[in-house]
Structure 1
Amino acid sequence: IPEEGEYEPNIKDAKPVISPDKLKFGAEKLYKVTNIVDENTLELDTGLKVRFFGVNIKRDELSRLLAYLNEYVKGKQIFLEFDQYSRPESEIVPAYVFLKNRIFINKELVRQGLANVQIGNFKYKSTFIKVVGD
């Protein structure tokens, strides 16, 4: 029984889905991509795993996609942007991925025909749809 003024959580053993030490904030928000886990998932220098949000990878373009990610993304510095509609359901965080030079990787995947635009609402949906027609 807690003493007066002590906090006792209503949900016992609650913990965040994502460990806070895997996230970077402020001036140190750049991550380095250390591994291409699979066609949709990057592993970062903090151990955080990120899934491309707003796109569905085309299964028939896997070899071209993996070649692109290995050449242009692996080993590079990136920053992440999160969407109000994206919620982590596991240790993998859905996010928009940008290279340090501001190239928007999720958009590039759609533009190059490596991914389709995801169904549903999200911040960059109109941006992705526009590049499909270009």
Structure 2
Amino acid sequence: MSPLQSKSSAILLLLLLLPWAANAGTLSVISTDRWVHVVRVYDGDTFRTTRGERVRLLGINAPEVAHNRQREQVMGHEASIRLQQLISGKTVRLSFDKVRQDDYGRTLAHIYLRDNSWVNAQLVREGLAHVYTFEPNHSRTKALLVAEKQARAAQIGIWSTDHFRVLAAGKVTARHIGQFRLITGPIEQSSGWSFQLGRLHISVPKKYRQWFKHPLQLTPGQTITVRGVIRVSRTGNYSLALHSPFDVEYSDRSIQP
């Protein structure tokens, strides 16, 4: 083959392969999802694949089932059974956000069935899980919050129980310490990164302030709803830490980032 023929053949081969190379490159850049087969469901938000990978459903938290010395939370069994119905023995798609693994080595992912049903949102919509997110994994938080508000409005699942029902700020007591709750009420005092809500002192710890665009701009008398774990300080005061802007819901505005 002459040099001219060789060069022509190379050009022809390149032209034939170019569309495939472009498609392959596009897929590798925009698609990082992958499929796994579910072999065991541990509870309402955690499962294991056939390869031994433990997967934690991203952006939500289901009531705990009984394990070790921990008692089962209200509707923990129901949430676990529902997740089994949805994914047990099936091949599901894992879709990721910015951080793909938690401190326990579990893979963090949004789960989709073959019909493209979004399992995380399904559990929230049915009142079998609540929104529970940390920065920077917030690409789908707004959609999850919409699903949660629908379940709360309908008072279904966990939202029909005393353990999870939205709590008035003035009714926080010692029995609520350690619980994750949604708490609502009018703001009594506000100053930058902290404010008072009924008996609760709400604050944004320094390490989480990077996720907020600016210090909290709140007005005394304004009614809001916050989410988080109720703690007690050394002085005996009740407190709650906000981890992201999504932990605050404004009654007079749409859900804020």
**So what's the TM-score if we normalise by structure 2?**
0.39
> What per-residue deviation string (whole Å, max 9, x for no partner) do you get for residues 40-67 of structure 1?
2111122211001101113312121121
CA RMSD between the two structures: 2.3
Query: Which structure exhibits the higher relative contact order, with contacts defined as CA atoms closer than 8 Å and separated by 6 or more residues?
Result: 1
Name the counterpart of 1:124: 140
Asked if 2 retains the 8 angstrom alpha-carbon contact of 1:110 and 1:116, the reply is yes
Q: 3-state SS of the aligned residue for 1:71?
A: helix
Name the counterpart of 1:41: 46
Shift of 1:120: 3.5
Unaligned runs of 5+ in 1: 1-24
* 109-118 or 31-40, which deviates more: 31-40
- Say whether residues 1:66 and 2:80 are aligned partners: yes
Structure 2 counterpart of 1:44, one-letter code: T
Q: How does 1:82-121 map to 2 (within 5 A)?
A: 82-121=96-135
CA distance in 1, matches of 2:127, 2:140: 17
Asked if 2 retains the 8 angstrom alpha-carbon contact of 1:48 and 1:91, the reply is no
**So what's the TM-score if we normalise by structure 1?**
0.71
Q: 3-state SS of the aligned residue for 1:90?
A: coil
Higher helix share: 2
Aligned residues with identical type, % of pairs: 22
Name the counterpart of 2:159: none
Q: 3-state SS of the aligned residue for 1:51?
A: strand
> What per-residue deviation string (whole Å, max 9, x for no partner) do you get for residues 70-124 of structure 1?
2221011101011114433233111111112111111111101111111444111
Larger Rg: 2
* 82-91 or 48-57, which deviates more: 82-91
> What per-residue deviation string (whole Å, max 9, x for no partner) do you get for residues 14-57 of structure 1?
xxxxxxxxxxx98x932111101233211112221100110111
CA distance in 2, matches of 1:63, 1:90: 23
Structure 1 counterpart of 2:78, one-letter code: R
Asked if 2 retains the 8 angstrom alpha-carbon contact of 1:52 and 1:96, the reply is yes
